[in-house]
Structure 1
Amino acid sequence: MEIILSPSPNFDDRKHAVDMLVLHYTGMVTGQAAFDQLRNPEAKVSSHYLLWEDGRVDQMVAEDRRAWHAGVSSWQGDEDLNSRSIGIEIVNGGHDFPQADGTLPPYPAAQIDALIELCHPILAAHDIPQTRIVGHSDIAPLRKQDPGEHFPWVRLARAGIGIWPDTEGADVSGNGLSPGDSSANVRRMQEHLLRIGYGIDLTGTYDERTEAVVRAFQRRWLPERVNGSADTRTLRRIDAIHTLYTAD
Structure 2
Amino acid sequence: MNGLKVLVVDDDPNVREIIRLYFEKQQIRLFEAASGEQALDMVEQAAPDIIILDVMMPGMDGYDTCRELMKLYDIPVIMLTAKGDEFDRVLGLELGADDYVTKPFSPRELMARIKAIFRRMQSKRNAGEDDSRHIIEYGGLSIRLDRREVLARGEKIAFRPKEFDLLAHMAKSPGLVYSREQLLEQVWGYDFLGDIRTVDVHIKRTRSKLSDFGFDCIHTVWGIGYKFEVGI
- Note whether the superposition's TM-score is higher than 0.5: no
Higher strand share: 2
The TM-score normalised by the length of structure 2 is: 0.33
Q: Looking at secondary structure, tell me which structure has more helix per residue.
A: 2
TM-score, length basis structure 1: 0.31
